[in-house]
Amino acid sequence: MPHLLYRQRELLRYVRIAHHEFPEMKAFQQPYNPPASQQILRFRHTHYQGVSHPLTRKSVLTVSVPDLFKAHSTAFSSVRAKRKFLHLAGPRWDAGGRGADLAEVFQLEGDKAYASKCPEVGEIKISCDRFPMQAQNDKWCSDVLEEMVAEAAREDAEGEEVASLPLDVRHRLVRDQRKEARGGGRGGRRRRATIEDWPEGWGTPK
């Protein structure tokens, strides 16, 4: 019984707060203003409503690849710089869709076959939780992104060689394979093998 009385007192305390203090919060109400076209960076944080947790300091930065190339048009004025940036991003680049579809676009046709085209799709995701404060992790993510942009814009012989290489989408292929193994979605069951999955070169099973 004491725990029931304690819970009732706790509920009454929150009811009094909602009745007396919530109306005073109208003075701090502000209209919602959507982010401007120049504000392309998005930071995601996790909060546990007053509970101390190690994940509250983690920061995840996401930015759209087309918006980034458009905002830094001077740095990404050439296809070489765009391709070099995607190479630097590596698995941080999520092209969206299926990785196999993206890999089929870049067929090997010569040493410089890739240097003339670059996919401007997907988004870049950078996360950090190495610092104790959330603002420090935000700063680290933004600094890494700025360094990647500056390095991609730097013209040198090594950049030309990197731009001529095919983009690595193996991280996307692995993600697609895991999704298919789970049954096509997160939380789905693994698809059971059937006779249709039997390799033709192995003969007919008996």
Number of other residues whose CB lies within 10 A of the CB of residue 85: 26
Once rounded to an integer, what is the mean pLDDT over residues 58-78? Answer: 91
Residue 12 has pLDDT above 80, yes or no: yes
Residue 4 burial class via C-beta count within 10 angstroms: exposed 0-12, middle 13-18, buried 19 and up: exposed
Cα–Cα distance for residue pair 21/12, rounded to 1 Å = 14
* Cα separation, 24 vs 21, whole angstroms: 5
Q: Domains in the chain and their CATH numbers?
A: 37-186 (3.30.160)
What was the pLDDT predicted at 125? Answer: 95
Q: What is the pLDDT of residue 16?
A: 92
Cα angle, residue 187 at apex, residues 186 and 188 outer, rounded to 5°: 95
For helices 134-153 and 79-89, angle between their N-to-C axes, nearest 10 degrees: 140
Cα torsion at 183, 101, 103, 78 (round to 10°)? -130
Residue 108: per-residue pLDDT: 46
pLDDT > 70? residue 136: yes
Q: What is the pTM of this model?
A: 0.69
Query: 33-60 pLDDT, tens per residue?
Result: 888 878 899 999 998 877 888 889 999 9
Residue 107 pLDDT > 60, yes or no?
no
- Six token digits for residue 49: 């409503």
Quote the pLDDT of residue 145: 95
Q: Of all residues in the chain, what percent carry a pLDDT higher than 90?
A: 29
